[in-house]
Amino acid sequence: MDTAKINKIFCQPLLSSLISSPSLSIEEEDYIWEKCRDNLYSGFINKYVIFNEINVDLQNKLQKLSRNYQYKFFTMYEDMFEISEKFKENNIRVIFMKGMALNLADIQQIDQRHCRDIDILVEKKFLNKAYEILKSIGFSYLNEDCEDESSFLEPMHHLPPLSNSKGTIIELHHRVTSPQAFLKCPLTDIFFENFQSVKGIYIPSSTNLILHALYHGVIHNSLGDGLLFLIDLKKITNKYNVSIDLDLAESLLKINRKTLLKIEEIVSTSSRKNIKPSQIQDLVESLLQSKTLFSHERKQRISISKKLDIFKRLNIIKYEYQVSSFSIKFFRLTFKKIINLVKRNYL
């Protein structure tokens, strides 16, 4: 596989200009398809890359994937307004985050920036009430084995995913960042202090949109999900005519200065005219310290680590199924997990 050729294709959306791709091998086609599918990247590739005629099947697959995301978005869009209205009726401030917020504010475009779910943030003291409100409008836990509870939060920063009959998935957050990254979330309080209203929906302020993109790209996903957060940062800074506050990001998120400077250079360079694709490609590879712009699949990276101690494993079971550690179901699930871990040589 020609990594340089593949990386040029992946970096092109940062430049917001159209290129024609050279012919790709079957292996290269499969790699591009897999990374676009797993990392919400098909919309950007469809917008800025014209594939060779021998790779028309790949182009068709990517266009179909994007159309499906766009159809899903319109349903999610309707649900977002219903959720916002219901929460306002109950005097609960709800902030919509990530992809839905970026599309709502016209920072990104729905044919490019796809969303798997709706991420919403409420104050922790309102979490149980917010859960009950979502239930009242047709949402329930995606995992059918999950109990009708909202009490067990460790080790996550949101409840288990909820969905409705239309297939809209909700992540109901009580904090912005994962407890595994920060014992005390550095962003939650400032998200509630500084936000903006777009079409009656609350989303983070421009500064907080930037901080969240940095957190997700650098810390939460360990620079492993490719260029999506860089494109988000470019679009946010251009939309609001602002720059990344390096001091704030360094102090709040504890991201080292060298990494922040590289990110700032990529964002600012990609916004200039007449930049060669190779320049951006070199900068991105330097940031990721690799010629592979995507790590292993996200499911593999967030699966239970072999290093987790027994108490963390038990907390994960409580969280996944919202069950008390004193319940029969908890003991049954724990036994089942132990058997599976032994089979996979994780214990």
Give 10-residue mean pLDDT values along the chain (347 residues).
93 94 96 95 97 96 97 97 98 98 97 97 98 98 94 93 98 96 96 97 98 96 92 98 97 97 97 90 92 64 51 84 88 78 57
Domain identity same for 311 and 199: no
Shared domain for 209 and 92, answered yes or no, is: yes
131 and 235: one domain? yes
Same-domain pairing of 225 and 275: yes
In a domain, 7, yes or no: no
Q: Using an 8 Å Cβ cutoff, are 111 and 66 in contact?
A: yes
Q: Would you state the pLDDT for residue 39?
A: 93
Task: Please indicate, yes or no, if residue 86 is contained in any of the structural domains.
Answer: yes
Q: Note whether 276 and 341 are same-domain residues.
A: no
CA distance 155 to 6: 37
State residue 303's pLDDT score.
45
User: Is 261 a domain residue?
Assistant: yes
Q: Where are the beta strands (DSSP E) in 147-296?
A: 162-163, 169-173, 195-198, 201-204
d(CA 170, CA 307): 29
159 and 212 co-located in one domain:
yes
Residues 165 and 266 in one domain: yes
Confidence (pTM) = 0.92
Domain C-terminal end among 263, 279, 296? 296
Q: What total of structural domains would you count in the chain? A: 2
Q: What pLDDT, on a 0 to 100 scale, did the predictor assign at position 330? A: 85
pLDDT of residue 224: 87
What range defines the domain where residue 289 resides?
73-296
User: Same structural domain for residues 190 and 115?
Assistant: yes
**pLDDT on residue 154:** 87
Per-residue pLDDT, 299: 42
Q: Is residue 223 situated within a structural domain? A: yes
- Do 246 and 345 have their domain in common? no
The answer to whether the CB of 32 falls within 8 A of the CB of 24 is: yes
Where does residue 262 rank: exposed (0-12), middle (13-18), buried (19+ CB within 10 A)? middle
282 and 323 assigned to the same domain: no
